[in-house]
Amino acid sequence: MDLQSFRTLVDTSEAEISTFKNNPDALYQYVGLAAGGNFQLSAAAEALDERIRATLTSGDGNAWWQCRSLRTDLIREHVISDAPLAPYYGVLSRLQDALNPTDSKQGHIIGDWAAAAKAAIDHIAINSWEGVDPERIETRNFAVARAARWLKDQGYAIRLATGEISLEASADAAVLEEIERLISIMGGLNVARRLFAAISSLYDVDMQRYHLIPSVSMTGEGKTQVPWGYLLQLSVKHLVGQKPYANTDQNWDQLIHLITAYAAVFDVQPYVPMVFGGLDPQGLIQTMREIALYDTVFRFPQLRPADVVRLCEGLLGFLDHGQPTPNGWSLGQALEIIAALFSRTPDVRGPVVIRETDVRRSLPHVPKDVINYVLEHVLSHPVAGANQNYSRPTDAPPDRGIDFLFRPLLHLSGRRFLMIDRSVGAAACPEALLTAFRSHDRGLDDKVGKQAERFLEAEFAAHGVTVNAGDYDVGKTHGECDLVTETTDRVVFWELKKKPLTRKARAGADVELLLDISGSLLAAQAQSGWHELHLRQAGSLTLVRDNKTYQLDRNSREIERVAVALLDYGSFQDRLFLKHMLETSLEANYWPVDPDLRKRFEKINSALDDIRIQHNSLYAGEPVVANPFFHCWFLSLPQVLVLLDEVTDAASFWGALLQTRSIVSGAQDYYFELARIRRWKSAG
């Protein structure tokens, strides 16, 4: 069923039920109820809904999803081409209300659309849709369509097809050219300064980061957002720009309108909080793609500057701080230089210029050539600049994509360097050091993964949290427990995974998203799931590490499972996403179209199989399990460091972790939710 065919069905149908309003027996007989019964109009309406359900049955497909798709197409044509919304929107809405959505969306729909539409029209004759505001119900669809309409009015051709809205290829190229032209003539550095000035009110002094959260509302009040992340990546691409600059308010306003509309048409911004219900595997993949692109377009990576040296040193703690690399610098010297970058720069929002002479003056004991090399070759992008092969949010390696994330500094003239922002620069420092040392040691990543466990254990100990770890055997089964912390009523298993969120995944590549999420979240939860199952079944585990043993007794305590990534995964660490990911894993396996990827996907499916086996064992005999993964978490090392701020012992640590356990704000941002809880507590 396409939209034009549906319009024809509605146009050729008339409501007959209105003729029976003053003749109850005829009305009831018409809708299939017994004449003379003591019925109400609501009973007649329900009978018509039942007629819709009986008329539109599904094979492998689902008519509810078809109506939803038609409703989206209808709104787009209404906004972009001035096509009428009524009466078609009301009929589609009535059909959706009568039908029930299912997880299956594929296949042929069996039934009589004409009869279903007729029943819906009759239903509306009893219960009119007048007074219902479609724009409050369909905020996202209207916002995307309005952005497309604005672009159309500016002269850019819009392509509408069934289930699709986009710019025509030539128009897409023209919009990109104009966006980059405006940035260039304003000067990318000037654009960056305006950008950070515009979001300065979102800066959290305690968290040392900008809270860039989606504008979501359950009552239709979500607003189209400015794509600050996308704008930042393009501004560093055109840092020097084209002189003489035209850094005017008029050009800035034009740029913001154009880039905001362009980003909106990508249709990855949420306008309501993530749904509480389940997602089928296809819906999950689509959601993952939208989350990745949302973070890339509307957010940017950040790290608390106060943690940058501690984190870098923690990840590379297995290296000798004084041992020179083949290029003549050491880890200890690099850490001192990074510390100087942040201690010598004021805590301002936005771009900061750093002079090499100032760094040398603050580190007189570090040789000049070492400071020069580290600043220029380890921490700075090439002189040509960053993101030189990046234009679209979906650009990805190997030929294109964002590379600004991997080094904190940009070259300026006269032995000067630019840090685009302290929180953004801090996030790039670990990547810069890991990249530099990786070039000298192919096995570096495995060593970093092991070191991360020791680093996290040391951080726990520094905050009074006792940690144990080690191998164990239960029967013929062998397990490896990264870390476990305990309170009087909780056992918390921690599993660390070094797999980062790659640039391809950040650009929304489905395969890379599945591989990255599997190598971090799923692998860690599958591993800790075995720990939980064995502890529940055996009652205790004997952990052995460095020839020392520790007996972990359950003692009727509840069990929590935390997957930890080395660096942030952004919105993927939201607890609602975790719920959807793990619950979907109970009924899905994934196989790639490309046979060369089959082996890599075997690891994904192995983790999914493990999670299913664990779930079936843990909840054997229970017909319905509500929120089976409520005790599971997905955090990063930077998030744990922030969490530890107020921790002095195991009990206070569990209390700190518990603060955001039941929070569903729609922000999809752990830092924002934790900061808000802390503000509430301090306010009293």
- Write out pLDDT tens, residues 303-336: 999 999 999 999 999 999 999 999 999 999 999 9
Element (H, E) at 411: strand 409-412
pLDDT exceeds cutoff 70 at 601: yes
User: What's the burial of 488, exposed, middle or buried (CB within 10 Å: 0-12/13-18/19+)?
Assistant: exposed
Q: Contacts by 568-571 with C-beta closer than 8 Å and gap 24+?
A: 568/301, 568/303, 568/427, 568/501, 568/636, 568/638, 568/639, 569/501, 569/520, 569/521, 569/634, 569/636, 570/291, 570/295, 570/299, 570/301, 570/501, 570/668, 571/291, 571/294, 571/295, 571/668, 571/669
Confidence at 299, pLDDT banded by 50, 70, 90: very high
Q: Which of 297, 326, 352 is the last residue of a domain?
A: 297
Give, as one character, the DSSP assignment of residue 380: B
Tell me, yes or no, whether 338 and 430 share the same domain.
yes
- Tally of structural domains, the chain: 4
Residue 544 burial by CB count (10 A; 0-12/13-18/19+): exposed, middle or buried?
middle
Domain boundary among 419, 441, 463: 441
Q: What's the CA gap between 444 and 428, in Å, rounded?
A: 18
Interatomic CA distance for residues 347 and 324, integer angstroms: 32
At residue 459, the 3 state secondary structure works out as helix
pLDDT exceeds cutoff 90 at 541: yes
Q: Burial code of 402-427, b = ≥16 C-beta within 10 A, e = fewer?
A: bbbbbbbbbbbeeeebbbbbbbbbbb
Query: Residue 134: is the preceding peptide bond cis (ω within 30°)?
Result: no
Whether residue 153 is found in the same domain as residue 77: no
Consecutive H or E run containing 15? none
Residue 137, domain member (yes or no): no
Q: What whole-number percentage of the chain has pLDDT above 70? A: 96
Q: Is 446 contained in some domain?
A: no
433 with 476, same domain? no
Residue 400 confidence (pLDDT) above 60: yes
Query: Does 280 share its domain with 415?
Result: no
Count of other CB atoms within 10 angstroms of residue 492 = 24
Note whether residue 491 is domain-resident: yes
**Cβ of 546: how many Cβ atoms within 10 Å?**
6
Q: State whether 512 and 647 are in the same domain.
A: yes
Would you place residue 60 in the very low, low, confident or very high pLDDT band (cuts 50, 70, 90)? very low
313: Cβ–Cβ under 8 A, 6 or more apart, which residues? 331, 335
What is the structure's pLDDT at 617?
Answer: 96
373 lies in a domain?
A: yes
Residues 108 and 151 in one domain: no
Q: Which two tokens stand for residue 156?
A: 């850019």
By residue range, what is the domain housing residue 427? 305-441
DSSP state of 529: H
Within the chain, how many helices (H) and strands (E) appear?
Answer: 27, 16
Q: What value does the mean pLDDT take over residues 637-649?
A: 96
* Lowest-confidence region among 363-372, 434-443, 539-548: 434-443
Please report whether residue 403 resides in a domain.
yes
- Looking at residues 520-529, what average pLDDT do you find? 97
Tell me, what's the pLDDT at 464?
A: 97
272 with 354, same domain: the answer is no
Question: What CA–CA distances, in Å, run from 568 to 303, 634, 664?
Answer: 9, 10, 19
Both 357 and 253 in a single domain? no
The answer on 325 and 197 residing in a single domain is: no
Write down which residue in 251, 279, 297 finishes a domain. 297
Supply the pLDDT for residue 623.
83
Summarize pLDDT for 458-469 with one digit per residue, the tens. 999 999 999 999
**Cα–Cα–Cα angle for 486, 656, 210, rounded to 5 degrees:** 140
